[in-house]
Structure 1
Amino acid sequence: MFSKIKSKDKASKLREKLNAKGVIVMPGCFDSLSAKLIEKEGLDVGFMSGFCVSSTRLGMPDTGLISFSEMVDQVRNICNSTSIPIIFDGDTGYGNSVNVFRTVRGYADAGAAGVMIEDQKWPKKCGHTKGKDVVDLDEAKSRIKAAVDARNYGDNDILIMARTDAIATRGLDDAINRMKIFSEIGADILFIEAVKSKDDMKRIIKEVPGHHMINLIEDGDTPLLEINELEQIGYKIAVMPLTLMSASVKTMQECLKNMKNKVYNTNVTKFSELRDIVGFNEYYKIEDKYK
């Protein structure tokens, strides 16, 4: 119910996973319950998407409307209830490079194993939607430099994922160039968003050494290749950031239709299992200890 694992240990676990053989399948969570389900299923690493948090916490689109304080609060709640390493969306860092520094330290102090910092202009947009653009290279470099410096500041460790959305407005050549520079600055994980084809994937891996992540969104811009094929291409992380939230929405819609038609929902989690998932059994043990 309460995590005993420190952020430094979670970051160390994440580094071990990156350096081990095989691709990391990384589900996306959006709250403590979805994160706990990932851990209970035996998956080793998770990812918290800003799209999901903005959708579930605010009921609003991922268009820069959610704040640093709301995001870091979600980071803390998730990390307090899970022991697996989780990478969290830090958007653009919520301001200038000093804000990036604060965001990275705030996420590390909240228990994050990793944080993603991107090069979009503010207000940022979901990577698979229209209207996004990136800042110039110097500003983008400054953000990643601040993030890398913040990684090495203080007692809590954290990994840095550098993301570029340059494909959308400046093309693949610019995106690859940015990723090379981010890697040289010291980013731990590299992420070019919204890759359009298998050939582009192969070129990215060939031209930019390092641990690469590919973003897999159902009905998104990137083709959903088989995970084994992505591993063969050379990707280290296959993230599915929206799948759990999308599945939840579909199931809730179906349940609500049944309710509207005065029909009970039978295809749901048993109440006894639900109690166990959210931590009632562990709570009772702690309660008994202090009676």
Structure 2
Amino acid sequence: MADPKLRAAFEAKRFIVSPGVFDMISAKVADGMGFDCLYGTGFGTVASALGVADAGIATYTDMVARMGRVAQGCATPLIADADTGYGGLLNVRETVRGYEAAGITGIQIEDQEVPKKCGHTPGRRVVPADEMVLKIRVAAEARRSRDFLIVARTDARTGLGLEEAIRRGQMLADAGADIIFIESPESEAEMVEIGRRLGRYPLLANNVEGGRTPILSAARLKEIGYAIAIYPAVGFLAAAAALERAYAHLKQHGDSNALPEQESYGFKRICELMGFPDVWDFEKRWAMKE
């Protein structure tokens, strides 16, 4: 079930910094670092699980299985990407129910046409505002607990302009969304305007390294009216860079003996992270009973 700690953090006006997680290693690492929330990135999850672009290829089944496993394996509340809700209104209802039953604490639903695309790539189109409003109303009705948070995202800024994006944000808040996500503002001035117009609601800033939106500090985001910042790409970008360096070293030297210490997490640490000490303790206690 949804973790009430996340709603409590929002109600306490505590600014939330949320790292993107995309598999169980990234989730386990982030889970032990004291964040208020983890963000289950669709881009990273699709990339790590399927090795394809975040372009509407992953299904509800793919995502609820992966994100549910993250939620169940971590103590930190998880907000997970659910694209467009995977279809029409009935699909949205079942998606909300499935994510909540899987132990996820928040669901992100966006107003793109199907197939959707990553929010910082070109060619995105949005459905009519009224269609998205119905999805959020259905999502709000479908959840079993008010602690299950609905993040409503609009991608209208890129194709229809800032004013339309803000108008949709207000409509989504009125429809019952807990967190408003205006995707891809293109300047700090635009972000200030979003905060001025919609800052009475919890606002989400999407910080993508190399994306369309400037990355502001947590202090600045809070100052201009935001409540949460997600960093969906920071983990998988770092992982890909580290893998590239490690594999290049292996290719060049033919072994990993001289791999710089900072490039290796350490086998002992990864065993601890994955729970091997518990396995070894179990085997020790039950060895004579088999």
Pairwise TM-score range, normalised by the shorter structure: over 0.9
Query: Does 2:18 align with 1:29?
Result: no
Instruction: State the one-letter code of the partner of 1:23.
Output: F
Alignment of 1:10-49 (within 5 A): 10=3, 12-49=4-41
1:185 corresponds in structure 2 to 175
1:260 corresponds in structure 2 to 251
How much identity, in percent, do the aligned residues show?
Answer: 37
1:125 corresponds in structure 2 to 117
Residues 7 and 147 in structure 2, CA contact (< 8 A), matched pair in contact too:
no
**C-alpha distance in 1 between matches for 2:195 and 2:13:** 16
**Structure 1 residue 288: Cα displacement:** 4.5
After superposition, what is the alpha-carbon deviation per residue over 1:217-274, rounded to whole angstroms, capped at 9, x for unaligned? 1110000122211111111101100100000000000111111112522330121111
Look up the SS of the partner of 1:87 in the other structure. Answer: strand
| Aligned mate of 1:148, from 114, 134, 140 | 140
**C-alpha distance in 1 between matches for 2:14 and 2:8:** 12
**C-alpha distance in 2 between matches for 1:174 and 1:128:** 18
Unaligned runs of 5+ in 1: 1-6
Query: Does 2:276 align with 1:280?
Result: yes
Which moved further from structure 2: 274-283 or 113-122?
A: 274-283
| Aligned mate of 1:159, from 128, 149, 155 | 149
**Structure 1 residue 137: Cα displacement:** 1.3
Q: TM-score scaled to structure 2, two decimals?
A: 0.93
Residues 26 and 46 in structure 1, CA contact (< 8 A), matched pair in contact too:
yes
1:105 and 1:286, CA in 2 relative to 1: closer, same or farther beyond 3 A?
farther
Unaligned runs of 5+ in 2: none
**C-alpha distance in 2 between matches for 1:162 and 1:133:** 16
Look up the SS of the partner of 1:261 in the other structure. Answer: helix
Give the 4+ runs in structure 1 shifted more than 6 A.
none
1:98 corresponds in structure 2 to 90
Q: TM-score scaled to structure 1, two decimals?
A: 0.93
CA RMSD of aligned residues (A): 1.4
After superposition, what is the alpha-carbon deviation per residue over 1:38-90, rounded to whole angstroms, capped at 9, x for unaligned? 11122221000110111100000000011110100001211121011010001
Instruction: State the one-letter code of the partner of 2:82.
Output: G
Aligned length: 281
2:208 corresponds in structure 1 to 217
